[in-house]
Structure 1
Amino acid sequence: MTSATAPEIRLSSGALGAEIRGIDLNALTDEQFELIHDTLLRHQVIFLPGQGNLEPEAHIAFGRRFGEVELHPYLPRLEGHPEIVVIDSDEGAKVDIWHTDMTFHQSPPIASVLHLVELPPSGGDTMWTNQCLVYESLSAPLRDLVDGLTAIHTIRVGTEFSSRAEHPVVRVHPETGRRSLYVNRLFTSHIPQLTRNESDALLEYLFRFSESPQFTCRYRWSRGDVAMWDNRVTQHYAVNDYRERRRGQRITVLGDHPTGNEPRWEHHVPAPGDRYWPDRVNAVEGY
């Protein structure tokens, strides 16, 4: 791979995703970074094939071009490089549920950079969904409703870590200004402006709609590939269709505070004697 020729960009699907060939992250130039940044904003997830010799220092430096790199609170890290989380299927790291990373934080990460270093002979693809396109495809009355709501996002990891945050159901991207649906199956507990039954029904519809094939792309990995996704406008799903080891190294770029419309209604207060369930907290082991 050489930077002497102009990088080549190929779209991955009609909904989102772009593959960029001709860039070596070990020798990334400012011009190449600007191309990557622009392509990420346009297509939500990018793929950089053939990065098999990516040095951990270069991986970290690439993430830092986008912002501060996170030290994850509970996942295993690469020895000598605490900024890099190791995602190892042999250790249970198989998250085959549609989700957006760490929405249970007040300021969720803006992006992740995943380098696949070991793959099974077949299987182990990853899918992404374009949450801007999902929002734009809702009917006008439903967009009007969700624009005025918030959602509670939660997690519990054994006794080691727990977190809770309230975010707009529709957030506005701070760089592009596009609006996107911002709820996910793994971490969204409920919509506090609604009754529990109303919240369950609306969220289930939004989850299913978000997962529709017309909003997705699917990437078949090769060893050494790098993927980066904009965590503000996507969900992703790791396809669990393999038995052999799958191992990756991930950088997470710390986030901004999700913003959107102010909620138009107060939190629902149950009438005396009504049963109102507490937060639904996901106990996550291999996330």
Structure 2
Amino acid sequence: MAESMTTAFDVRPLSGALGAEVRGVRLAEITDEEFAELRRLLLRYLVIFIRGQHDWPPGSRVAFGRRFGELEVHPYLPHLEGHPEIQIIDSEQDGKIPIWHTDMTYSPNPPIGSILQIVRSPGTGGDTMWSNQYLAYEALSAPLRELLDGLTAIHAIHIPGLDSRAEHPVVRVHPETGRRSLFVNRAHTSHIAQLSRNESDALLQFLCEFSTSPEFTCRHRWRDGDVAIWDNRATQHYAVDDYAERRTGLRVVVLGDSPDGDRPRWEHFRPRPGERYAPARVNAKESY
């Protein structure tokens, strides 16, 4: 069913939680007015899908991404020749790691968003899911929200060629909408800084399971040429690994800001003398 809001595009929500297909867009020739409208739709739906963008030249793709902000040159992913900002996502080259995550939260300035086009999709399977972290936070009880608002979490990655660590609020405030969302994930969140190991593990396990409950999610079935644009500040995503054929894509990542939230209300947890604090290891890469 088409979206009822006044728009030059044909907007079709994908689920009750987030996601919309936007029809009537040609990204290679998008105008300033159309881009402004597309950005408003992104803030509303958190992930938007535009099908059939087969004739999208690399230069136009980079220019489109730069409308959102500075673009990332990834430290280990291969890129399109002559265009280091356009990353190649290949299921046969570490592009299949199914786990719910928010991109690169191990960075002090995680990306604000990503633009992914699937160039070659499998005949069956290979969908991607997204989860609305606004709704996950808002569905929690008031006492738990109050606790989480005063906590920070350590995010980390330790793989060959990439070793990074950052501390972010467990609940971040979106700089454009002002809404609060959960900001922890299975792939990169090591532990909650103010809690003991056992407390942190238990709370993170609950939050990671709860925040990806079906009622907070949408699911996209890819076709060749589809483009997805998502807000990395208020979503998680999961690449479903249920296919055997090769899947390839091109991705542009918009560099981030510093996640903002309430100041922590407690100091970092400090083990008692002789007690060893060993937070969970975090080594996963991103998946799409």
TM-score per shorter chain, which class?
A: over 0.9
Alpha-carbon distance, 1:95 to partner: 2.4
- Give the ranges of 4+ consecutive aligned residues of structure 1 lying more than 6 Å apart after TM superposition: none
Alpha-carbon distance, 1:279 to partner: 6.0
On the 8 A contact 1:92/1:285 being kept in 2, the answer is no
Alpha-carbon distance, 1:156 to partner: 1.5
Q: 2:76 corresponds to which letter in structure 1?
A: Y
Identical amino acids, percent of aligned pairs: 65
CA pair 222-284 structure 1, distance change in 2 beyond 3 A = closer
Partner in structure 2 of residue 147 of structure 1:
149
Distance 1:52 1:283 in 2: 31
Alignment of 1:8-157 (within 5 A): 8-157=10-159
TM-score, normalised on structure 1?
A: 0.96
Alignment of 1:206-221 (within 5 A): 206-221=207-222
Distance 2:281 2:269 in 1: 16
Q: 2:154 corresponds to which letter in structure 1?
A: I
SS in 1 for 2:241: coil
On the 8 A contact 1:154/1:187 being kept in 2, the answer is yes
Distance 1:130 1:74 in 2: 28
Over the aligned positions, Cα root-mean-square deviation in angstroms equals 1.4
Partner in structure 1 of residue 170 of structure 2:
169
Partner in structure 1 of residue 3 of structure 2:
none
SS in 2 for 1:248: strand
On the 8 A contact 1:85/1:251 being kept in 2, the answer is yes
Post-superposition CA distance 1:130-167 (Å, at most 9, x none):
00000000000100010000000000221x11100000
Distance 2:93 2:176 in 1: 36
Distance 2:220 2:285 in 1: 25
Distance 1:284 1:130 in 2: 21
Alpha-carbon distance, 1:278 to partner: 4.8
Distance 1:124 1:195 in 2: 38
Post-superposition CA distance 1:53-76 (Å, at most 9, x none):
111111111110000011111111
Alpha-carbon distance, 1:272 to partner: 1.1
On the 8 A contact 2:101/2:286 being kept in 1, the answer is no
SS in 2 for 1:276: coil
232-241 or 277-286: bigger deviation: 277-286
TM-score, normalised on structure 2?
A: 0.95
SS in 1 for 2:249: strand
Alpha-carbon distance, 1:50 to partner: 1.0
Q: 2:36 corresponds to which letter in structure 1?
A: E
Asked if 1:223 is matched to 2:224, the reply is: yes
Alpha-carbon distance, 1:173 to partner: 0.3
Alpha-carbon distance, 1:182 to partner: 0.1
Distance 1:68 1:217 in 2: 28
Alpha-carbon distance, 1:191 to partner: 0.4
Distance 1:246 1:108 in 2: 26
Structure 1: state its 5+ residue gaps.
none
Partner in structure 2 of residue 184 of structure 1:
185
Equivalenced residue count is 282
Q: 1:83 corresponds to which letter in structure 2?
A: E
